[in-house]
Amino acid sequence: MEDRTVILTTLNRAWAEPNSMFDIFLESFRIGNGTQKLLNHLVIICLDQRAYARCLSLHSHCYNLHSEGANFSSEALFMSDKYLDMMWRRINLFASILEMGYNFVSTDTDIMWLRDPFPRFYSDADFQIACDQYHGNSHAIKNSANGGFNYVRSNNRTIQFYEFWYRARLIYPGKHDQDVFNKIKGHRFISRIGLKMRFLDTAYFGGFCQPRKNLNLVCTMHANCCIGLENKLHDLRILLEDWRRFMSRPPSMKASPPPSWRVPQKCWYGKRGPNQI
């Protein structure tokens, strides 16, 4: 974008297969309200050759990230060694992108873009992040953050923070980036460097952990609190059907109480325990 902001997501072979996650991710941009234009600023970071080839067949901006000695082509099961390696390589990559002077929105591919989120971002924040559970105050570190969606401006504060975040994996071995973030978000280092952090309201940046019902507000919806690719796909397809139905209503009816989401159905972490992804 004109201010050097880029939208980033990562993709591997499992999620790039036909009729899988990548297809419905792109579809959400096409059917969203004011989101199709954002595809011009979306860069897909591909973790293997098959994902890169599929990306090139569907999208204009694909980057083939070669990871020496790593194979990320299959589905990375939640909290497996492969999953942890992939998440931490991503944090390291994002640190490099900030050092190059680019602001970015990082989005997981299981997040549906239903409205342009940029008007809902805070203008005074260096780093803003979505939540699994939002408790009503965008400054409160008690909010349970979700690392799948964040907006970061490139400056000395965010560069130092990402370096600190990446190093913190050594202090908390076996933890993924989101868990480590939730442990360090109140660390004195963050106040010392002056990082301005805000947490995003789930009314606008929602997910299955805390689904909100007002479709007139929602910008993004995340298949969080859900384990397994097939479970995510099942519920996200229903979500997009609900969205199409809502968008087809006359404007006068959209102002009335909108229909509720029919999800989560298979994505409901209460049936599986507290693990969240």
Using the predicted structure, report yes or no on whether residue 79 has a pLDDT greater than 60: no
218 — phi, psi (to 5°)? -60, 135
Q: Is the peptide bond before 264 cis (omega within 30 degrees of 0)?
A: yes
Residue pLDDT, tens place only, 240-251: 999 999 999 888
pLDDT of 32 higher than 70: yes
Q: What is the CATH number of domain 5-205?
A: 3.90.550
Phi, psi for residue 195 in degrees, rounded to 5: -65, 130
pLDDT of residue 208: 96
Q: DSSP secondary structure string, 43-103?
A: EEEESSHHHHHHHHHH-S-EEE---TT----S---TTSHHHHHHHHHHHHHHHHHHHTT-E
pTM of the model: 0.91
Query: pLDDT at residue 209 above 90?
Result: yes
pLDDT at 268: 75
What is the residue extent of each domain of the chain? 5-205
- The structure tokens listed for 49 are 């050759």
At 118, the pLDDT band (50, 70, 90 cuts) reads very high
pLDDT confidence of 112, banded at 50, 70, 90? very high
Of 51-65, 132-146, 260-274, minimum mean pLDDT range: 260-274
SS3 content of the chain, % helix, strand, coil (to 5): 40, 20, 45
Which of 40-44, 84-88, 177-181, 266-270 has maximum average pLDDT? Answer: 40-44
Average pLDDT over residues 116-145: 97
